[in-house]
Every structure is written in C-alpha cells, then in structure tokens.
Structure 1
Amino acid sequence: MINDDSREVFLKLFGDNLKKYRKNKKFSYRKLAQHCDLDFSYISKIEKGEVNVTLETILELMKGLDLPAKEFFDFDFDLDRLNVVK
C-alpha cells in the first residue's frame, strides 16, 4: 500500500506538470475544459493534487492539450519513498 505522504507528493507533482502544460498553451481552466470533456473546477482540483485521476481523465487531458500521455508523467519522483522493490 502506498503511504498518504507519497500519494500526496505524486498527485501534486502530476498537477504541477498539468498546470505547466496548460499555461504553455495559454489555456485557462475553462478553455481547457472546452477542449476536453472535464469540468473546469475538476481541472483545478487535479492541478492542486486534490484528486486521484483515472486513465479516462488522462485521455481527456491528452485530447484537450494535444499531448502524449508520457508528457503528463515527465517529472521526478523518488520511488524509494514508496518502500517498494524495484
């Protein structure tokens, strides 16, 4: 099981990365929401690391920002924090 601290850090890093790409496209939350089937307030929560997104949500974000999935996970995260064997 992943500890709460690791989960929070990972979700925040994912959200920060999403925010970077949204701002690079000069999209507001509402503009991104118009390009994908997500509510603008949900996008805000993702960026703040408040929600755990599904694969379907990532697909919508890929569509809305016209980015491959790997871009959303292009950040450093210390796997040792998870206490798992690599």
Structure 2
Amino acid sequence: MAKREYPEIQKEFGEHLQKLRKSKGISLRLLASRCDLDDSNISKIENGHFNVQLSTILELAKGLDVPKKELLDY
C-alpha cells in the first residue's frame, strides 16, 4: 500500500500543537522530554513536516496535560 501524504492537515495540526504548547509556556525541549520524543521531531510536527502517528498524538496530549480531544479539535 502506498504511503499517503496530507500536507495541509499536517500543517494545521502542527500549528495547533504549537499554539497549545506556547499557551502553556512549555518549551520544545520540555514537551519532548515529557513525551519521550526528540525535540527536533516535535519541531518537524509543528512545521507540518511529519505525519504523526496516533500513539504520538496520545503522548503529546499527555505531555501538554490536555484532553486528547483538545489536541485534535482545531
């Protein structure tokens, strides 16, 4: 099965993630450590250059201390 790209959705999700992170005063590095991810990967997500897996979305919600729905409601 061919890998699908959804650049517009990835960009929108990344922008929303960045707004949530900044509104909580959390740095890329701190969020990365809370989610056990590399901060460069979080940067790629926020810039829409990374297709996020569901498990990563769940970790990001935990790291931001927000309900999963809030992270996906943009």
Q: Same fold (TM over 0.5)?
A: yes
Cα RMSD (Å): 1.4
Rounded to whole Å, the distance in 2 between the matches of 1:37 and 1:56 is: 12
Rounded to whole Å, the distance in 1 between the matches of 2:59 and 2:26 is: 15
TM-score (norm 2): 0.87
Q: Give the share of equivalent positions with the same residue, in percent.
A: 55
2:71 maps to 1:57: no
List 4+ stretches of structure 1 deviating above 2 A. none
Structure 2: tracts of 5 or more residues without a match: none
**Structure of larger gyration radius:** 1
In the alignment, which residue of structure 2 is the partner of 1:80? none
Rounded to whole Å, the distance in 2 between the matches of 1:36 and 1:73 is: 17
Rounded to whole Å, the distance in 2 between the matches of 1:74 and 1:55 is: 14
Number of aligned residue pairs: 71
